[in-house]
């Protein structure tokens, strides 16, 4: 039995998770994370979607995205993941799948759930015991929401969710 088609709604907000194949470390180094953010920013501009939150973990990524026009999240994620995969394969002389299957997505239909999802994403490094406070993890949009200085601002623009 094949998998079902994704359902798209214009201006819907999605929680997206993509994982390295076999849970491998695909974003282990800072330069890998920068390369992923550069790919994400390139296609954010091309497809005109809103990025409300992100966290880059060693073996997976969480995003909160709102596709604002006719471009659906499959086209967006295909472009981002393909772009990063090409860079990853070239850098590490890697053959095979970089990402594990297709990305997971769920529609966030209520404002309170968007805020809860953003909080969940920002606290992912805390739950993984990488840091004891989300403020200490530089590879997320946390700083865009809660700090005056955002270390990721030079790589990616984040559309802060204001409700």
Query: pLDDT digit of tens for each residue in the chain (163 aa)?
Result: 556 666 666 678 999 999 999 989 999 999 999 999 999 999 999 999 999 999 999 999 999 999 877 668 999 999 999 999 999 999 999 999 999 988 999 999 888 899 999 999 999 999 999 999 999 999 999 999 988 877 778 888 888 887 6
Is 160 a member of any domain? no
Is 155 a member of any domain? no
Is 71 a member of any domain? yes
Residue 150 structure tokens: 């955002």
Q: How many CB atoms lie within 10 A of CB 5?
A: 7
Q: How many CB atoms lie within 10 A of CB 86?
A: 12
Spatial distance between the Cα atoms of 90 and 25, rounded to a whole number of angstroms = 16
Is 4 a member of any domain? no
- 129: alpha, beta or left, given left = phi > 0 and alpha = psi -120 to 50? left
Structural domains counted in the chain: 1
User: ∠107-109-110 over CA atoms, to 5°?
Assistant: 145
Mean pLDDT, rounded, of the chain: 90
Spatial distance between the Cα atoms of 50 and 76, rounded to a whole number of angstroms = 11
Is 51 a member of any domain? yes
Contact 13, 65 (CB under 8 A): yes
| 3-state DSSP assignment of residue 21 | helix
pLDDT value at position 162? 76
Which residues constitute the domain of residue 67?
A: 13-146
Is 84 a member of any domain? yes
**CATH code (residue 86):** 3.30.70.1290
Is 104 a member of any domain? yes
Is 106 a member of any domain? yes
């Amino acid at each position: 039995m094949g998998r079902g088609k994704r359902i798209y709604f214009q201006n819907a907000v999605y929680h997206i998770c993509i994982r390295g194949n076999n849970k491998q470390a695909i974003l282990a180094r800072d330069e890998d994370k920068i390369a992923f953010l550069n790919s994400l920013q390139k296609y954010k501009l091309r497809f005109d979607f809103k990025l409300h939150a992100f966290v880059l973990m060693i073996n997976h990524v969480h995003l909160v995205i709102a596709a604002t026009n006719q471009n659906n999240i499959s086209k967006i994620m295909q472009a981002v993941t393909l772009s990063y995969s090409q860079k990853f394969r070239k850098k590490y002389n890697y053959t095979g799948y970089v990402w594990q299957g297709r990305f997971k997505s769920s529609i966030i239909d209520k404002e309170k759930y968007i805020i809860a999802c953003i909080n969940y994403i920002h606290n992912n490094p805390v739950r993984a015991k990488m840091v004891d406070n989300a403020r200490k993890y530089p590879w997320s949009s946390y700083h865009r929401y809660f700090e005056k200085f955002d270390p990721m601002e030079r790589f990616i623009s984040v559309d802060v969710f204001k409700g």
